[in-house]
Chains A and B, each alone.
Chain A
Amino acid sequence: MNAQLDGVDEPADRKREERREFHSYVCGIGLALLLTVVPFALVHWFPAIPRFSLLILIGAFALVQMLVHFRFFLHIGFKQKREDLQLLLFSGLLLTIMVGGTIWIMASLALRMAMPGQP
């Protein structure tokens, strides 16, 4: 079985695939670096930006960086043999409901009890 497959798997093809996958990692770390440096710089050097917009901005950078990591380091794509992507999306949905719901309920509770300074 192995010999048969090796026939299909030409050394030149493997070299090309290796170069492509190496470039994918380089691309991933490049994008991740950019998406890390910008929010740090924003928080460190631009304190004049209103806090709320700053939080939205760095949150957006973090979300995009997570997608970059999932794509280039974990190699999640739309063509998976198993339900890897579906599981990831479902976990994302659960997290949104549970984390978002918790924060919403606790913030609302704090407001009703007139506690200052709750996010």
Chain B
Amino acid sequence: MSQDVMKHPGLNLGPAHGSDDDAAQGMIFGFWVFLMSDAILFGMVFATYVTSLSTHALAGGPGPHDLYNIKSVFIETLLLLASSFTFGMASLALKYKHGKARLVGWMLVTLVLGLGFLGFELHDIFGMFAKGGVPSRSGFLSAFFDLVPLHGLHVTAGCVWLICLVGQIARYGLDTKTKLGIMRLALFWHFLDIIWIAIFTVVYLGGLA
């Protein structure tokens, strides 16, 4: 049934969830509109970064080869990708009613992976600071610290949201609001992983190539 026509992006709950499935369509379309506008915001910050890659914008300061650490970025990429998968497992647990314990379990695994990602990113940023790569050093570094921590802030917001949803599950159970919250966070989480593809490609791999 759900293979025929999708009501909205992300995993559709399907008719077994009754009115919750009907409520999802409009609510998630609205969230999809927000995600697309967020993508435009990220796109413009990417444009700022790419135009700040000239030797002039480096202002004699440290550049990509001095500052970026490909191993750390690779680990961050794997953590975020794994967290996208575990959130998918949480979505399946929600849709097929595997019980709250399994749903919350997968969500907490996702949270741990997300926090691990943030930990590595903070470690990277402090490593850059130690090498003199501070935002005020050059136009290039200002643009870098506009782009990468903007994504990090989004992931932080996602983690806070996830904790709130776990609290909501504990307090209210899996009612319509909680279900729709989990489904929207799932979209947000997968969307952030897509932004990260652009970041590791344009910023890190492009900078080190």
Taking Cβ atoms with an 8 Å cutoff, the residues of A that contact B are: 1-2, 5-6, 8-9, 14, 17-18, 20-22, 25, 28-29, 32-33, 36, 39-40, 43-44, 51, 54-55, 58-59, 61-62, 65-66, 69-70, 73-77, 79-82, 84, 87-88, 90-91, 94-95, 98-99, 102-103, 106-107, 110, 115-119
Of A54, A55, A81, A107, which one neighbours B7 at CB under 8 angstroms? A81
Main secondary structure of the interface of A (DSSP, over half): helix
Task: Count residues of chain B with CB under 8 A from any CB of chain A.
Answer: 62
Determine whether B10 belongs to the interface, using a CB cutoff of 8 Å to chain A.
yes
Query: Given A25-B89, A69-B193, A118-B54: A75 and B81 within 8 A (CB)?
Result: no
Taking Cβ atoms with an 8 Å cutoff, the residues of B that contact A are: 1-12, 14-16, 18, 25, 29, 32-33, 36-37, 39-40, 43-44, 46-48, 50-51, 53-56, 70, 74, 77-78, 81-82, 84-85, 88-89, 92, 95-96, 187, 190-191, 193-194, 197-198, 200-202, 205-206, 208-209
Which residues from chain B contact A6 at a C-beta distance below 8 Å? 15-16
Give the shortest distance, in Å, between A76 (CB) and chain B (any CB).
6
Of B12, B16, B84, which one neighbours A9 at CB under 8 angstroms? B16
Query: Given A43-B70, A70-B194: A59 and B201 within 8 A (CB)?
Result: yes
Of B32, B51, B96, B208, which one neighbours A87 at CB under 8 angstroms? B32
Given contacts A66-B198, A73-B88, 10 further A-B contacts (CB under 8 A): A14-B14, A25-B85, A29-B84, A32-B81, A36-B77, A36-B78, A87-B33, A94-B40, A95-B43, A98-B44
Residue of B39, B84, B92 contacting most chain A CB atoms (<10 Å) = B84
